[in-house]
Every structure is written in structure tokens, then in C-alpha cells.
Amino acid sequence: MKESAELAQKFAYAEPVLSATGTAELTRGMRLPRDTARSQAALAAQRLANFINKAFP
């Protein structure tokens, strides 16, 4: 959870979104990088597989 929160703060809630008082207009360069999202999904899948393998040997 801490890892995901840190990534969210770094990419999704960075400036200018962080200090916006209303709706912040996002530019193409400010969007969450696709590679980060994909690697987080792959990591979650790997952790789930490890958990299942340990639970059902």
C-alpha cells in the first residue's frame, strides 16, 4: 500500500494538480506513465500468484 501511495503522489498528485484549487488541466506530459501502471499491475499479479501458491501447496 505504501508503495502505491508513493507512486500516486509522485505521478498522479504532483504539481500542478497538488496545488490546484479547482480542476487542473492535464497536458500529455503530465499523465501517469503507462509503463509504471503496467509494472504495478504485473507486480500485483506476481504477489497474488505467490500468495495462492503458498495457500494451496
What phi, psi does 51 have (nearest 5°)? -60, -45
pLDDT tens per residue across all 57 residues of the chain:
677 778 777 766 666 666 767 776 666 666 666 677 788 889 999 999 999 999 998
Q: Which of 37, 29, 44 is nearest to 7 (CA)?
A: 37
* pLDDT attached to residue 10: 74
Q: Kindly give the residue spans of alpha helices, DSSP state H, lying in the chain.
A: 2-7, 34-55
pTM over 0.85: no
Radius of gyration of the chain (CA): 16
* pLDDT attached to residue 7: 76
Alpha-carbon distance of 41 to 47, in angstroms, equals: 10
Alpha-carbon distance of 24 to 53, in angstroms, equals: 44
Enumerate the domain spans of the chain.
32-57
